[in-house]
Every structure is written in C-alpha cells, then in structure tokens.
Amino acid sequence: MKEEASVDFEEIEGEIELSPPEIYAANLIEWAVDQRASDLFVSDSENSVIIAVRRLGKVQTVRRLARDYGHKLQGHLRVLAGSDAGDMLRPTEGRGVLHTPNGSKVDLRLSTIPTLYGQDVTIRLFDPVRGTRSLTELGYDSYELEILRKMLDQPAGLILVAGPVASGKSSTLYAALDALNDESRKIHTLEDPIEHGIAGVMQSQVNHKLGLDFADLLAVVLRHSPDVIMIGEIRDSRTANTAIRAGISGQLVLATIHAKSAAEAIDSLVQYEVNPKFVARSLVGVINQRLIRTLCPACKRPSEKKANEVPERLKSRVPVSPEHLFESVGCEECFGDGYQELTCVSEILQNSSEIEQAIATGQPAADIDAIAKQQGMLSLAETIATRVLRGETDLKEAQRCASDPSLSSLEVS
Ligand SMILES: [Zn+2]
C-alpha cells in the first residue's frame, strides 16, 4: 500500500483533519455505525496511522492520518473507553458509551496492543438498535423459524449453536432469549463478555482475573432456580458435564460450541468426556450457522445465465424455479459493494429417536448427519442454495460462505 500523510475520505462527512481529536473520534464512530461496521481499527503503520472498519465481515481501509494526529485520536479513543491513554507499552482494555452528535448512543469495547510501529487500537461497536434483533429479524425463513420455535418450546434440554468466530452465534442466542423472556421463566446467562443488557434477565460475566470461568458460574447459577440458562461457550469438560446434567434435570440450556457442522457439534460435546447416553437424552437440537451477505435490492440484477431447475430436495422451500439467479453490482445505497446486510444461514438438526439412538451408541458424526438429512434437515449449502434461488444473495457470495460444488450447478454453465 502507498504511504501518504493523509488521504481524503469523502464519506466521513463534515470532518476536517484539523478538527479536535475528540470531535473527530465522535464523528468517526458515528460514521462507522451508520456504515453498519462491527469494528473500527486505528492502527500505527510505518509512517502513518491507518483507520479501517470491518463492514459485513470484511476489513476496509478508509483513511490514513499523519502520525501525530493519529496518536491523539488513539489517545482520545482510549479515554472514551476509560482506559489509560498514556500507557502505550501494555495491552489495555476498556468499554464506554458514546453519545454521538446526532443524539444516538453507541456501546463500545476497546482493546489495544503494542505493535512494531506503535499500537493497534480495536473498537467493537455495539449499536443498541441492531443488537437486540428478534428471531424473525435474523434472516431465517418461515420453515426454519417453525423448527426453532419448536425447539425453544421444549421445557428442558440442550440447544447448541455452532459455527466459527463471527458467524452470528451470539445474535442468535440473544434473539432466542428475547423469545423466551416473557416473564414466565427465570433466565440466567453466563457470558464472556456481556454484549448487551437484556431487561429481566440475570446476566453474569466470566471473570478470568478472579478465576471465575463458565463452569464455576454455572455451578452457582444452578442454585438460583433457573428455567433457562445461556452459556456463552462450552469449552471444557466441567462445563459440558454440568450443562448436560442441567438439561436432563429440567432446565433449558442454550450454549455455543466450536464445530464445523451440526453433527460434528455433537461429536465435540462427546469429546469433553461426557457420557454419550446423557448427550443423546438431553439434546434438543443443534443450529450450525454462518453469516451471508444479502444483495443490495437497489442495484442487484439478473444474471445473464439461465437458472437450472430447483433441486428435488429444495422444492418444498422454493416451489417455483426462477428463470435467472441474481448477482451483485454496487451503487450509492450499498457504498459500492453490492451487498446490503449480513443474515444467518444455518443447518438445523433436531433430535429424534433415531438420532438419539445413534448418539447413545457412539456412531460417528457422518452417520448422524446422514440420518438428519434423511429426516429432512437441509445442509448449510442447501440452505444457502435456497437464498440464491430466491434472489436474496448471489453465487459468488454463496460459494464464499460454503465451498460446495452443488452450488455452481444451480445455474446453467
Ligand atoms: Zn446497491
């Protein structure tokens, strides 16, 4: 990349480089939230300070600042988040609330780390309006919502949410809690970190400094007579065993787990030295999800190629074969990248007597996956295909999200 003292970035309206850093910081954060950015980075490079945002999952550099000014900005951002502005030698953390010039409120969490040329300041932005989406706003279609609601209606058991980092797992958990939070249930969450406050829910934060991990908190929460428990992540044997015991003994437990597919999530759980029979008995279902970018409705256009007929397994979801698929273009509305927002796509595995039997007898993930598909579960790639066929996203984005050869056959080559 070319090194310059400063490059204009017209889209940050109304700011002048010489404006005081606190005003610049407020404008920058407000602009980043308007752009629906999830993170803002202000990082030292060799000759300048680079501002970048993560928007729809991708990092975009937006401006380079002269080092002096960039450092003042970094210092001010650290003050905003209540972290020591002077100590550049040690990593710091902080959180704060910014009241933007247009009157809205943004929660931010800051982390800094010393780097070769100075420091990297990373700010996660939590827009309260976007943070509390309901189940219907996550991007699930009516079939998927029906399955999810059925799972959440269970009085007890374990619901797992799987997927890599930044696959929207916490949005799904928050939305599920929102659906359950009707004052008829006592709900506790164990989180690391707490991303949003939810009225009426007891939220507790894992505290590594005090040696309080998920397993410690879970043991305590069980004495508080909960109906629903949300566990930020199952990542050790103690948490896994306690969560399953809670699921069997009458609580509904929601948790994320690291796994690549719904069936593998069951495997991951068993790996934590858990009796497979208890997993089989307590499991309600697994949601394995990713985030996909939807096409900007203002500029998307039909592809020149013809679409193939809808695959047999998807016909109940997409009854009419489209003539063409759609593809991204880019316009002012979508800041030129052709996509509008990130939504959830998922494969949802529901426990059944056959699956319960397979788990209890230690069958491999591939067999459990096969049973679930035979019972109607759409794989991640098949779910993504429904979004492509409905013109909600394009093949390029679909293939980025799931590299599955079946996707390219949706279109006549
Ligand atoms: Zn557009």
**What is 65-86 written as a DSSP string?**
EEHHHHHHHHHHHHHHTT--SS
pLDDT in tens, 146-185: 999 999 999 999 999 999 887 889 889 999 999 999 989 9
Q: How confident is the model at residue 120 (pLDDT cuts 50, 70, 90)?
A: very high
Residue 312 has a CB neighbour count (10 Å cut-off) of 7
pLDDT in tens, 330-374: 998 887 889 988 899 999 999 999 999 999 999 999 999 999 999
Q: Report pLDDT for 129.
A: 54
Q: Do domains 21-126 and 132-296+338-378 have the same CATH topology?
A: no
CATH superfamily for 132-296+338-378 is P-loop containing nucleotide triphosphate hydrolases (3.40.50.300)
Q: How far is the CA of 328 from the centre of ligand 1 (A)?
A: 8
Q: How far is the CA of 222 from the centre of ligand 1 (A)?
A: 49
Q: How far is the CA of 54 from the centre of ligand 1 (A)?
A: 18
Q: What are phi and psi of 390, to 5 degrees?
A: -85, 0
| Distance, CA of 99 to CA of 78 (rounded, Å) | 15
Q: Report pLDDT for 234.
A: 95
Residue 338 tokens read as 């052709």
Q: How far is the CA of 293 from the centre of ligand 1 (A)?
A: 12
Q: How far is the CA of 172 from the centre of ligand 1 (A)?
A: 27
Q: How far is the CA of 340 from the centre of ligand 1 (A)?
A: 7
Average pLDDT for the chain? 89
Residue type, 230: M
Q: Which of 9-18, 190-199, 216-225, 382-391 is least confident?
A: 9-18
Q: How far is the CA of 295 from the centre of ligand 1 (A)?
A: 8
Q: How far is the CA of 30 from the centre of ligand 1 (A)?
A: 21
Q: How far is the CA of 331 from the centre of ligand 1 (A)?
A: 4
Q: How confident is the model at residue 132 (pLDDT cuts 50, 70, 90)?
A: low
Q: Report pLDDT for 128.
A: 57
Strand order in the sheet with 105-115: 58-66, 48-55, 37-44, 118-126, 105-115, 92-99
Q: How far is the CA of 297 from the centre of ligand 1 (A)?
A: 7
Q: How far is the CA of 10 from the centre of ligand 1 (A)?
A: 18
**What are the structural domain ranges in the chain?**
21-126, 132-296+338-378
Q: How far is the CA of 403 from the centre of ligand 1 (A)?
A: 25
Q: Which of 93-102, 126-135, 219-228, 341-350 is least confident?
A: 126-135
> What's the rounded mean pLDDT across residues 231-236?
94
Q: How far is the CA of 1 from the centre of ligand 1 (A)?
A: 27
Q: How far is the CA of 97 from the centre of ligand 1 (A)?
A: 31
Q: How confident is the model at residue 17 (pLDDT cuts 50, 70, 90)?
A: low
Q: How far is the CA of 335 from the centre of ligand 1 (A)?
A: 7
Instruction: Return the biggest CA–CA distance within the chain.
Output: 68
Q: How far is the CA of 31 from the centre of ligand 1 (A)?
A: 18
Q: Tell me the whole-structure pTM to 2 decimals.
A: 0.80
| Distance, CA of 404 to CA of 33 (rounded, Å) | 33
For strands 118-126 and 105-115, give the pairing: antiparallel
Residues linked to residue 37 through DSSP beta bridges, in sequence order = 55
CA quadruple 399, 254, 201, 171: dihedral, nearest 10: 0
pLDDT in tens, 246-303: 999 999 999 999 999 999 999 999 999 999 999 999 999 999 999 999 999 999 999 9
pLDDT in tens, 48-63: 999 999 888 788 888 8
Q: How confident is the model at residue 14 (pLDDT cuts 50, 70, 90)?
A: very low
Q: Which of 103-117, 297-311, 374-388 is least confident?
A: 103-117
Q: How far is the CA of 229 from the centre of ligand 1 (A)?
A: 41
Q: How far is the CA of 98 from the centre of ligand 1 (A)?
A: 29
Model confidence at 4: pLDDT above 50: no
User: CATH number of the domain at 21-126, please?
Assistant: 3.30.450.90
